[in-house]
A and B are shown apart, each in its own frame.
Chain A
């Protein structure tokens, strides 16, 4: 890395850091510490992600699992378990109290109704109709607590012709149903078949992004509903279908089809709608190149030494570059140029160009395509508090992505990563029901907790 000369505005950076450095998170108040959240998520990380976001902001979040624990605890690469819990749940059990309760039993449902009386938010992810059939759907619970914000996150929503489907919500299925997977992935060359190139198919994103999308829209809806409740005192029901939540992240595809009949076909590592915008090979891997303004694209061409040869001086608009044939033509011209450098060399060329280039301070976006392994070792993210390990009393020191935003007043924070199944039965049932060890023993004997 080149010598780190601090910018003219270093004072500003220092000032902001003094106010919002995550190292100081625990000195600050919590935005949602007046809310109680019940999370009944079943098989779905969308609900868990949603309640995590609220729990990171201080909501007292009670995770309710069936007596054997929820299936999500088994979600883990290669089946790896850490002290009995899968690695995925070691991220989304964060800050929650974990109790068990068998909602299949009448007595279990009566206990839930008692908790609902004290709750502000309930999150559930069963197929539509399951909660109603148990007699603990929105209408029933609203009678107990009209202020309740009851949030359902499911595969097919609470209404609409498909909503009767009794299928659980899984991320990969929702990604497929969103329409986004269809348009992502390598292009199958003409004359080739999927059997020959089984990787040139519609490709989903690796992370559980459909679940994260519906969970985050869930949190957005819940916090909006909390705001409205502050005005009117009314709670309400919220319905989110995961494929719709993820589909909303698509931009123009729906409009393009409805107006022009064009399908969102795959375009590999280029971008149907943007130039300069794509992944390109380097000597040691690859980089992302971005230049959505003409000057940025010209600056990139300058960096690779083709400014004169390609006639960049004469370009007056980016428009023709967005067309498909020009994209492919220029991609083929750029590839051999970027391959002359390492990813790091190209990245630093862009940083340097902003200071000394002919179009400075304009410079293209150049970013190395790193593995998650390399990302986790990057000192910059560590310095900004993203990978600060959580010291969990049960699970030990666990790396958790956190501090997804910084704030001067109520930043999100992670206190513990998870709890074993039923770990907080004693605390929660005593706090809300006055149930002591004798009663809990009795409920446990009946298989209710």
Chain B
């Protein structure tokens, strides 16, 4: 282990996040929108999530098979960490004015609304630019702000992006229906890429003082990750077809069923890796077989299927654990298929602090993921959980805008600021003591 990561987890709190001093405003719901700002929060930015009172983000209602954690939607909890929670009615003029005051003091604003909605709310890019010319303003949605699909005002979801990009099509077995992913890949990957756009814009702003407007379509973005598919179709004139767990560009690289009915994934394209695998199988001669000797020969579909069949037959005689161990010894990549039990219990994930137990004033102790970027001088930190709708109103209004209590009360009275409805996922957990976690007034 390099010294620089010695006691990394233990010493995490002795360093700030890299984005200390950056402020992000978020008006987002579901996943594509809010996931990005949560990454920024882990990186040390101050993130203010603005919801519409009193119901807020619809994700608060979502749950796997009816399971809520302390009444809260677990996916909402995963995607909205370490933010401040404000509920501001952006449909009304006064709310829009307050938003502009906040925008004037922010570096980044993120939205995931249908095209032109921000414009209708008088908080579009041009409106905000007037109060903050250096603002970095990003709108993320299904189809961007212009073009045929955008102008048809089509709604979108992660699954729509998986469908329209061809991603699902090439993620199934041959001659089987296209397969939807169990994760919201276009949402979260889009959110990640959105922050790359924002951080690059922040760098540009440091150099020039200039802000910018950014728009991202989740379908277009996932296409960027599909790589070789596009030139293949261009050059061969053939459409790409699915190949199950076989990697079409790397051989051998596939998932195999083992003796113990568990699965193992392995890859061994490099000469040393392939030789190591053949030796481990007790078939060293295969490494010199003209069909398999060079990686490019091995990739020819007929040869690929032949070598994969040989490996599959061998894998059926070993346990997944045995093959993983052989991979370690012989230098080819191999792992037993992990599941959510491994996520939770694996000592590696724990030792790296990637999986950790939180200690939250509202939601208590529970297990969640850290940002998977380990930074030696500025460790990202998942610090606190989600909050009820409008939970930090008073704090934000007082700290950023200098409003006193009477002024804040007036805003509540006129419905500009709002608090949670007495409903699942909006109100505090039932065991909340009425004080914990509140910042300004308890």
Q: Tell me the bound Cα distance from A48 to B216 in angstroms.
A: 22
Contact in complex: A381, B223 (CB < 8 Å): yes
Q: Tell me the bound Cα distance from A163 to B118 in angstroms.
A: 47
Q: Is A20 an interface residue (CB 8 A)?
A: yes
Contact in complex: A254, B374 (CB < 8 Å): no
State the Cβ distance, B369 to closest chain A Cβ, in Å. 5
Also in contact, A77 and B232, with CB within 8 A (given A209-B185, A249-B185): yes
Q: Tell me the bound Cα distance from A55 to B405 in angstroms.
A: 50
Residue of A nearest to B312 (CB): A198
Contact in complex: A401, B176 (CB < 8 Å): no
Q: For residue A138, which residues in chain B have a CB less than 8 angstroms away from its CB?
A: 2, 4, 376
Q: Tell me the bound Cα distance from A201 to B21 in angstroms.
A: 47
Q: Is A314 an interface residue (CB 8 A)?
A: no
Q: Is A413 an interface residue (CB 8 A)?
A: no
Residue among A172, A183, A243 making CB contact with B182, cutoff 8 Å: A183
Contact in complex: A272, B64 (CB < 8 Å): yes
The number of chain B residues with a CB under 8 A from chain A is: 184
Q: For residue A80, which residues in chain B have a CB less than 8 angstroms away from its CB?
A: 232, 235-236
Q: Is B13 an interface residue (CB 8 A)?
A: no
Q: Tell me the bound Cα distance from A381 to B166 in angstroms.
A: 13
Q: Tell me the bound Cα distance from A324 to B67 in angstroms.
A: 11
Chain B 61-81 per-residue mask, 1 if CB under 8 angstroms from chain A, else 0: 111111101000011011100
Also in contact, A81 and B296, with CB within 8 A (given A238-B375, A322-B62): yes
Q: Tell me the bound Cα distance from A17 to B213 in angstroms.
A: 11
Contact in complex: B170, A203 (CB < 8 Å): no
Residue of A nearest to B373 (CB): A221
Q: Tell me the bound Cα distance from A357 to B282 in angstroms.
A: 66
Q: Tell me the bound Cα distance from A303 to B240 in angstroms.
A: 33
Of B75, B163, B248, B355, most A-chain CB atoms within 10 Å: B163
Q: Is A306 an interface residue (CB 8 A)?
A: no
Q: Is A10 an interface residue (CB 8 A)?
A: yes
Q: For residue B414, which residues in chain A have a CB less than 8 angstroms away from its CB?
A: none
Contact in complex: B151, A10 (CB < 8 Å): yes
Residue among A259, A288, A364 making CB contact with B180, cutoff 8 Å: A288
Residue of B nearest to A324 (CB): B65
Q: Is A334 an interface residue (CB 8 A)?
A: no
Q: For residue B150, which residues in chain A have a CB less than 8 angstroms away from its CB?
A: 13
Contact in complex: A4, B148 (CB < 8 Å): yes
Contact in complex: A225, B375 (CB < 8 Å): yes
Interface window among B201-209, B389-397, B431-439: B201-209
Q: Is A113 an interface residue (CB 8 A)?
A: no
Q: A16-B145, A16-B215, A373-B239 are in contact. List 13 more A-B contacts (CB 8 A).
A: A75-B228, A159-B1, A181-B245, A183-B340, A184-B179, A201-B263, A223-B200, A251-B183, A256-B64, A258-B367, A277-B159, A371-B169, A401-B223
Residue of A nearest to B245 (CB): A204
Q: Is A435 an interface residue (CB 8 A)?
A: no
Residue among A32, A91, A201, A245 making CB contact with B228, cutoff 8 Å: A91
The 4 A-B pairs of least Cβ separation, nearest first, read A373-B239, A372-B166, A176-B265, A409-B212
Contact in complex: A77, B249 (CB < 8 Å): yes
State the Cβ distance, A274 to closest chain B Cβ, in Å. 6
Q: Tell me the bound Cα distance from A183 to B341 in angstroms.
A: 12
Interface window among A104-112, A383-391, A438-446: A383-391
Q: Is B412 an interface residue (CB 8 A)?
A: no
Q: Tell me the bound Cα distance from A185 to B202 in angstroms.
A: 40
A-side interface size class = 35 or more
Contact in complex: B148, A367 (CB < 8 Å): no
Contact in complex: A255, B367 (CB < 8 Å): yes
Q: Is B106 an interface residue (CB 8 A)?
A: no
**Chain B stretch 2-44: residues in CB contact (< 8 A) with chain A:** 2-6, 8, 17-22, 30-31, 39, 43
Q: Is A309 an interface residue (CB 8 A)?
A: no
20 A-B pairs (CB sep. < 8 Å): A88-B249, A167-B327, A170-B250, A172-B267, A175-B265, A184-B171, A202-B255, A206-B167, A220-B39, A236-B378, A237-B375, A251-B31, A256-B340, A259-B367, A279-B159, A289-B159, A322-B65, A323-B65, A373-B238, A389-B234
Q: For residue B406, which residues in chain A have a CB less than 8 angstroms away from its CB?
A: none
Contact in complex: A375, B166 (CB < 8 Å): yes
Residue among B161, B207, B242, B331 making CB contact with A167, cutoff 8 Å: B331
Q: Is A34 an interface residue (CB 8 A)?
A: yes
Also in contact, A91 and B227, with CB within 8 A (given A81-B296, A224-B199, A272-B64): yes
Q: Tell me the bound Cα distance from A323 to B341 in angstroms.
A: 22
Contact in complex: B78, A252 (CB < 8 Å): yes
Q: Tell me the bound Cα distance from A17 to B151 in angstroms.
A: 12
Contact in complex: A204, B19 (CB < 8 Å): no
Q: Tell me the bound Cα distance from A409 to B399 in angstroms.
A: 32
Chain A 326-356 per-residue mask, 1 if CB under 8 angstroms from chain B, else 0: 0000000000000000000000001100100
Q: Tell me the bound Cα distance from A206 to B341 in angstroms.
A: 24
State the Cβ distance, B424 to closest chain A Cβ, in Å. 9
Contact in complex: B231, A278 (CB < 8 Å): no
Q: Is B131 an interface residue (CB 8 A)?
A: no
Residue among B17, B254, B367, B371 making CB contact with A254, cutoff 8 Å: B367
Contact in complex: A236, B375 (CB < 8 Å): yes
Also in contact, A407 and B201, with CB within 8 A (given A372-B166, A375-B166): yes
Q: Is A286 an interface residue (CB 8 A)?
A: yes
Residue of A nearest to B74 (CB): A252
State the Cβ distance, B225 to closest chain A Cβ, in Å. 4
Contact in complex: A372, B169 (CB < 8 Å): yes
Residue among A235, A272, A386 making CB contact with B220, cutoff 8 Å: A386
Contact in complex: B167, A205 (CB < 8 Å): yes
Q: Tell me the bound Cα distance from A198 to B204 in angstroms.
A: 51
Q: Is B322 an interface residue (CB 8 A)?
A: no
Residue of B nearest to A182 (CB): B339
Q: For residue B97, which residues in chain A have a CB less than 8 angstroms away from its CB?
A: none
Q: For residue B384, which residues in chain A have a CB less than 8 angstroms away from its CB?
A: none
Q: For residue B257, which residues in chain A have a CB less than 8 angstroms away from its CB?
A: 194, 201
Q: Is B101 an interface residue (CB 8 A)?
A: no
Contact in complex: A220, B375 (CB < 8 Å): no
Residue of B nearest to A185 (CB): B179
Interface window among A95-103, A210-218, A420-428: A210-218
